Amino acid sequence: MENVTESIGKALHDKFGDALVKQELIVDFPTFTLKKESILDVLTFLYDFEIYKFQFLTSICGVHYPDNVKEEEFCVVYQLNDMVKNQRIRLKVYTSEAKIQVPSVTSLFSTANWLERETYDFFGIEFTGHPNLTKILNMDDQPYFPLRKQYQLEDETRDDKDDSKFGR
């Protein structure tokens, strides 16, 4: 697996320079952290990459890291597969709450349409250039993004629950 991480990392570094922020092997998953402005160009490059053809976008998801530095509070994670060689990789881009926009990749992967809408719906990450960035699961008038880690996990005002039944 290490040679996969190194070969893809070298190709990304040669082509995009400092847009590749970090590369690592997490368990058996080659993972590459990129500058958010380069995500569409990198995905396009990997789609037609000479060694692997990462032409299947498995998932896009958001992550909220409220304790990170101000420029990296939110992360968008892309998982790609080369179905022929049975290889998968993960790409990450970080953004801040103040500038919570990431370029849309719907022009390359049509399935990104729904995945980006879901990420917007739950985290509030805006995908610039998306053809229809509207909520997909939550109510349109819902004024918050429920998967951000800025809300308490439980309603402390409730008195109808018995904590002893939950191991507390």
Q: Where are the domains of the chain?
A: 2-147
Task: Please state whether the predicted TM-score (pTM) of the whole model is above 0.85.
Answer: yes
Q: Report d(CA 78, CA 60) in Å as an integer.
A: 5
Between the alpha carbon of residue 68 and those of residues 25, 37, 38, the distances in Å are 21, 20, 21
Separation CA 49–CA 54 (nearest Å): 7
Handedness of CA 86, 15, 64, 27 (dihedral sign): positive
**Residue-wise pLDDT tens for the chain (168 aa)?**
558 889 999 999 999 999 999 999 999 899 999 999 999 999 999 999 989 999 999 999 999 999 988 889 999 999 999 999 999 999 999 999 999 999 999 999 999 999 999 999 999 999 999 999 999 999 988 888 989 988 776 667 777 777 777 666
Interacting residues of 11 by C-beta distance below 8 A, sequence separation 6+: 45, 49, 51
Alpha carbon distance 13, 29 (integer Å): 18
CATH entry 3.30.70.3040 includes domain 2-147:
no
Q: Are 93 and 119 in contact (CB under 8 A)?
A: no
Strand ranges (DSSP E) for the chain? 20-26, 29-34, 56-64, 74-82, 87-95, 101-103, 126-128
